[in-house]
Structure 1
Amino acid sequence: MHDPHEFLTALTLVLAVAAVTTVLFHRLKQPVVLGYLLAGLVVGPHVPVPLVANRAVVEGLSELGIILIMYALGLEFSLRGLLKVGPVAAVTAAIETSLMLWLGFLAGRAFGWSARESLFAGALVAISSTTIIAKTFGELKVTGHLRNLVVGVLVVEDLVAILLLALLTAVAGGRGLSAGQVAFAVGRLAAFLVGLLVVGMLVVPRAMRTVNRLGQSETTLVASLGICFGVSLLAARFGYSVALGAFIAGSLVSEAGEERPVEPLVQPVRDLFGAIFFVSVGLLIDPHLVAAHWRAVVALTAIVLGGKVLAVTAGAFLTGNGNRISVQAGLSLAQIGEFSFIIAGLGAATGATRPFLLPVAVAVSALTTLSTPWLVRASPHVAAFIDRKLPRPIQTFAALYGSWVEQLGGTSRRPSVAARVRRMVRLLLLDAALLAGIVIGTSVALGRAAALLRARAGLEAGLARVAVLAAAGALSAPFCLGLVRTARRLGVVLGSAALPHGAGLDLAAAPRRALVVALQLGALALVGVPLLAVTQPFLPGVPGAALLILLLAVLGVGLWRSATNLQGHVQAGAQLIVEALAKQARDAAGGGEAHALDDMRRMLPGLGEPEPFRLPATSAAVGRSLAALDLRGLTGATVLAIVRESEGAIVPSAAEVLRAGDLLALAGTHEAIAAAKEVLAAGAGASAAAPP
């Protein structure tokens, strides 16, 4: 129990210094989060300033900040929203966390750290910061699909972090890991979440509706926070993060439809304790240890910024989100935060790592926190720039890929397709598990197996080790081949389901080939990157990485060739669309344009679902070229054809200048087309930017 005077002193120091630093950063137009971190450094024990706050008191208060930030985030993101982006978020998070675990481990080994320290380093760079994202998105008012996708990935990452904590606790205790321990940890977490959600859905929404009928804001606030802290405490009692419990509590209240009266009541309390949380992070920064390990700080920061942007962008794109959203999601998640501190703190407390790792983690978090608001703010422009610089065939492929995944989402629900997909996914997972078992088993038993072979066959020590490794390689080869073959079959099945073969001339051949190669690439990445992360601690050097990179490079070449063929298919299709629109553009019934495009959808599968849009005279796009407007970079939609009264129908180039009354044929996902229409309909006084 803390002394009341000591508690008051610590709280006064934190809030007073934080007030000064945040006003300063606000005047400098910098993120206020950095002001909080600076306040924590000032009131911490590591700088010669006579304003030292009690660290235990501040950390106790900061836990309330984590709970309230996560609760407010849950209020904005219902369980239905989570289920909607769940598969996409799970795939993206699996690729990202696996790649980051591998990169962090390699970085640790490169700096001469022990295997356990390197494992902790990989874990702490794998998890992005929910609190920093929530704060940044709130300040920049980021909404819509981007917010849902990023929050979904963060929730999956938090579940991964909880599992990592359970596994790292076993590693830190010297007990090692076994398949039984991993299965038990995963099963226990799943049972807790299912039980909590089932009971919560029965109790929380009804309770909140009853309380809200009283019409008393004070009662609503107290009741909602009671639910928040109650579920957080329940999660903590089961050995899980209070952040996870708080997020689920907010989602349960949101399911009652009562988030609107609760959000403005919770916000001031959340802001207060959220500020204390970030100050507590600044308290952990030790400039001397950071200076001693500055190379590691720089390297891990570069890994977080580069690796997360690449992995999240790739994962989000492979799940059909398009260039714009994928790049923005990647730039938004390029930081580490609270779970990284917990993981590094676990290593330091148990002696699994030396004391330097915690300050290094905080320094990396501070640097990536500094960059996060700028990256989020610049992400639409970066996405547009990347789209402009892509080769034309890849631009066309990227514009249409999302629409193919949308079609796949509907067709894959057919029982026959779903059954085949489930069977092949099980085969992929089985091959990966057996391959991982062979690699890990060989590494663990290599010395004993070589000694046995030397005793039985009379071989030299070096030759015996080579023989064991050769036998393990031969045993692994069928499973490696099985992974590649099953990924190929999975791509063919899904590609044929999304773009079926025609009865006569196969007009969908070119787009189907591109889709199949992309799906094969995604399947191998989804299985291969986690497999690499799991087996890397048991592999010498990077042979597994070299093999995976080689396979992905071969598929990348195949994707480029398919995209080049697709470009010709799209150009031919655009010519047909031009002709069809030219014939029916002046249909007296007024519905001929849509009817013509309906015919094109049947005749040219693979071009998505082109939709017509008449450009109004008030549009800000009038008088601008397609290159200057950069509609594809802003929204993900592309203009396949233009019908103009004075010139007839044309296939536009990037230099084509739009005019009032132009009839545009737009292609892309439904969301991309809706965003493109919004941009094109914006008046001349509005900014021609993509919706958030």
Structure 2
Amino acid sequence: MAIVTNNFLEDMALVMCVAALATVICQSLHQPLVVGYLIAGIVVGPDVPGVYANVERIQMVSDLGVILLVFSIGLEFRFRRLMRLAPTAGLVAVIQVVSMVFLGHLVGRLMGWRAWESLLTGATVSISGAVIVAKAFEEVEVEPRVRELVFGIVLSEDVVAILMLAVLITMANGGRESVRAFSITAEHLSSFIVVLIVLGLITVPYMVRGVARLKRRETLLTTSMGLCFGFAMIAERAGYTVALGAFLAGSMVAESGQGAEVEKLIEPVRDIFGAIFFVSVGMLIDPKLLATHWHALAALTAVVVVGKIVSVSLASLAIGERPGVALKTGFAMAQIGVFSFLIAQVGTAPGARRSILYSLAVGVSTITAFLSPFLIRASNPAADWLDRHLPTPLQSAVAHYDERLDRVRKPTEPEE
């Protein structure tokens, strides 16, 4: 027997109480808190008998969690660092996305799916989740270079995902001018980002510094939240993801020099809404459907974990990262996130609540989110093993390659 909650207050009471119980159990068992949130989502979701929360109402609140988590990432990235990271992290993102689209398409064809379904599968497994990475990094300490490179890659992937969505939607609607749609979308997106950055840099840092001089934490918090949600709204109204606007807002606040202070202020709010986001992901899981298609779920999960570790590690080596850093970056990127749900929805029939591919995307995202903290922890011994067992000639070749790249990059790298 299933009983649905009647209003928003009952939704929040049920979600937060079950999430609290699940996280207490997970913490006592020394498991990541994300695991507790996902389990709580399954328990209060509509596909498990008992009392369940209204999915639509919780989804609306969960969007706030995405915005705040991505805003907090932006607070760590001033634009000078972004400009330095863009060419290298962007190249890794492109190599990784192309590799995963190919692997996902191949797996789809091997399972007997049509070409269109296989293409959507490849696109679905290609984009990592900035929100999942951010949450995993809260629980597992990583070295600064790995953290910087990972966030640079996932943010570059978000831009690629926006362009990919535009092309896939055009193809799904019967359009034949996908290349033209891609170029138009890329041009509009670039213009939007440039205009938002220019206007933001002219106003936001000075505004935040002026508010900070008032020495009132509440005023600084309210102003920062206003900027965060304001830029997210602008991005959404322009037809892009709220995450893009939230990240740019965080980077602009960081330019004021108050990034660390603002991050401390928003941390409790971010944690609450971040918890609701992960619970909402768990609510989308249909255990019966995933059990029926367990072989596809297992295959796609393996493709995401192995494919991303290998492709990101090799691409990171190609841009001159040390083998240990490259491998740790690959382990940290082995998951998919919110963009995968949006891509999978392109193939959902009109009027259908969810497709098999959508359910598989949620299932793979949930499993990889569960595995993410463990993989990040495992990356340290894996990197140590690689350092000990990497053949000496290969180590020398990598070292010479890095030296040559350093000579090329030094004259053009901006000063910190």
TM-score normalised by the chain length of structure 1: 0.58
Residue correspondence of structure 1 range 252-331 to structure 2 within 5 A = 252-331=252-331
How much does 1:142 deviate?
2.6
What letter corresponds to residue 258 of structure 1 in structure 2?
A: Q
CA contact (8 A) 1:81 1:148 kept: no
Q: Distance in 2 between matches of 1:396 and 1:9?
A: 62
Report what 2:39 is aligned to.
38
User: In the alignment, what sits opposite 1:447?
Assistant: none
Once residues 350 and 408 of structure 2 are traced to their aligned partners in structure 1, the CA distance between those partners, rounded to angstroms, is 48
1:375 is aligned to 375
Return closer, same or farther for 1:222/1:177 CA change in 2, 3 Å cut-off: same
Once the two structures are superposed, the pairs formed by residues 588-667 of structure 1 within 5 Å of their partners are none
Q: Deviations over 1:132-172 (max 9, x none)?
A: 11011122233411111000001100001111111111122
CA contact (8 A) 2:166 2:181 kept: no
Partner in structure 1 of residue 129 of structure 2:
129
Q: Is 1:107 aligned to 2:84, yes or no?
A: no
Q: Contact (CA 8 Å) 1:172, 1:352: kept in 2 or not?
A: no
1:31 deviates by: 0.8
CA gap of 1:351–1:13, structure 2 versus 1, over 3 A, is closer
Provide the rounded CA distance (Å) in 2 between the counterparts of 1:283 and 1:84: 39
Match of 1:245 in 2: 245
Deviation digits for residues 541-593 of structure 1 (CA, Å, limit 9, x no counterpart) = xxxxxxxxxxxxxxxxxxxxxxxxxxxxxxxxxxxxxxxxxxxxxxxxxxxxx
Residue 195 of structure 1 aligns with which residue? 195
Offset at residue 179 of structure 1 (A): 2.4
Structure number with greater CO (CA < 8 Å, separation at least 6) is 2
Asked if the contact 1:93/1:156 (under 8 Å) is kept, the reply is yes
- Equivalent residue for 2:28? 27
Within 1, Cα distance between the matches of 2:252 and 2:82?
12
SS in structure 2 at match of 1:348: coil
Give the conservation status (yes or no) of the 8 Å contact 2:167–2:178: no
For residues 176 and 65 of structure 1, the distance between their equivalents in structure 2, rounded to whole angstroms, comes to 37
Output the amino acid matched with 1:40: G
1:76 is displaced (CA, Å) by 1.4
Query: 1: distance between equivalents of 2:351 and 2:100?
Result: 23
Task: Provide Cα deviations, 1:109-153, integer angstroms capped at 9, x if missing partner.
Answer: 221222221121111100001111101112223341111100000
- Give the whole-Å Cα distance in 2 for the aligned partners of 1:146 and 1:241: 25
Task: Please state whether the residue corresponding to 1:51 is helix, strand or coil.
Answer: strand
**Closer/same/farther in 2, CA of residues 143 and 266 from structure 1, 3 Å limit:** farther
How far the C-alpha of 1:404 sits from its partner, in A, is 2.2
Contact 1:172 1:351 in 2 (8 A): no
Cα contact 1:336–1:368 (8 A) shared by 2: yes
Normalising by the residue count of structure 2, what TM-score does the alignment of the two structures yield? Answer: 0.95
CA distance in 1: counterparts of 2:345 and 2:9, whole angstroms: 26
Counting only pairs closer than 5 Å after superposition, residues 340-379 of structure 1 correspond to structure 2 as 340-348=340-348, 350=350, 355-379=355-379
Q: Which amino acid aligns with 2:330?
A: G
Please identify the structure whose Cα radius of gyration is greater: 1
Distance change (3 Å), C-alpha of 1:179 and 1:114: same
TM superposition shift of 1:362? 1.1
TM-aligned CA deviation for residue 409 of structure 1: 1.1
Distance apart, 1:78 and its partner CA: 1.7
Bigger CA drift: 268-277 or 164-173?
Answer: 164-173
What is the deviation of 1:27?
Answer: 0.6
Partner-residue secondary structure (3-state), 1:175: coil
Q: Distance in 1 between matches of 2:179 and 2:168?
A: 14
Structure 2's unaligned 5+ residue stretches are none
Q: Are 2:181 and 1:181 equivalent residues in the alignment?
A: yes
CA distance in 2, matches of 1:47, 1:376: 31
Residue equivalent to 1:517: none
- Tell me the distance in 2 between the aligned counterparts of 1:146 and 1:174: 42
1:660 matched to which residue of 2? none
Alpha-carbon distance in structure 1 between the residues aligned to 2:283 and 2:103: 28
Q: Residue 347 of structure 1 contacts residue 353 of structure 1 at CA under 8 Å; is this kept in 2? A: no
Deviations 1:626-649 (A, max 9, x none): xxxxxxxxxxxxxxxxxxxxxxxx
How far apart are 1:390 and its partner, in Å? 2.0
Count of equivalent residues: 409
2:75–2:263 CA contact under 8 A, matched in 1:
yes
For 2:322 and 2:349, locate their aligned partners in 1 and report how far apart those are by CA, in whole Å: 43
What letter corresponds to residue 28 of structure 2 in structure 1? R
Q: Which runs of 5+ in 1 are unaligned?
A: 414-692
Question: What is the correspondence of 1:475-514 to structure 2 with a 5 Å cutoff?
Answer: none
The aligned amino acid for 2:170 is A
Name the aligned partner's letter for residue 38 of structure 2. Answer: L
